[in-house]
Amino acid sequence: MKNLIRFCTLWLACVLIYGAQAAEPARLSGPAAKAGAAPSARPQFVYPAAERSVVELTVPERNYLLNEMRYYLDFMWMVNESLSHDDLRTVAIVAKRRAELSVASRLPPELEAKLPSVFRASWRDTNRMIDEIAVHAGTPEASPKSVLGRMASVLQRCNECHTLYQFRGNQ
């Protein structure tokens, strides 16, 4: 629980810090502006959050999807925690278990029919990426840095879907 609180606090801090930077474009002043220099390279959000597509679901369907997303967050937290201790064995175990769970808990057909095809394809691809992390983490050439690179791709996939879609639950 303590680690979860720490993770949530760090996540919120990042949102607040980088969100404030994204809301305000970088501006140059002084000699750099006159010389035509580019703004400093710092993280910028480029997705217009207000343009997300709304997907109408029942409350239980929305809850199902949200729980699946929470499982992804748990997975990412456990992998990152393990990587902070250079524990690739645990990374492989956690990724393998997440992959097994995703096979065991396929999207219900009536829910899958309501989801946009791009979302469904991304969902399947994200599961494939986690399968690859499980295999990669168990190989001799795996390193914390290489696993982090793969995790960054998974996290970017999450960001893309959250940028594109908003799921609303109706009674």
Give residue limits of the domains in the chain: 53-171
CA atoms within 13 A of residue 30's CA, in its CB half-sphere: 2
Q: What stretches of 53-116 show up as alpha helix (H) in DSSP?
A: 59-83, 88-104, 109-114
Q: How confident is the model at residue 2 (pLDDT cuts 50, 70, 90)?
A: low
Helix (H, G, I), strand (E, B) or coil at 48: coil
Could you give the CA distance from residue 130 to residue 132 in angstroms, rounded to a whole number? 5
What is the CB neighbour count within 10 angstroms for residue 126?
Answer: 18
Residue 152's CB is within 10 A of a number of other CB atoms, namely: 10
CA distance 71 to 76: 9
Average pLDDT on 151-158 reads: 90
CATH T-level fold of 53-171: Four Helix Bundle (Hemerythrin (Met), subunit A) (1.20.120)
pLDDT (tens digit per residue) in 7-62: 444 444 444 444 433 443 333 333 334 444 444 455 555 555 568 899 999 999 99
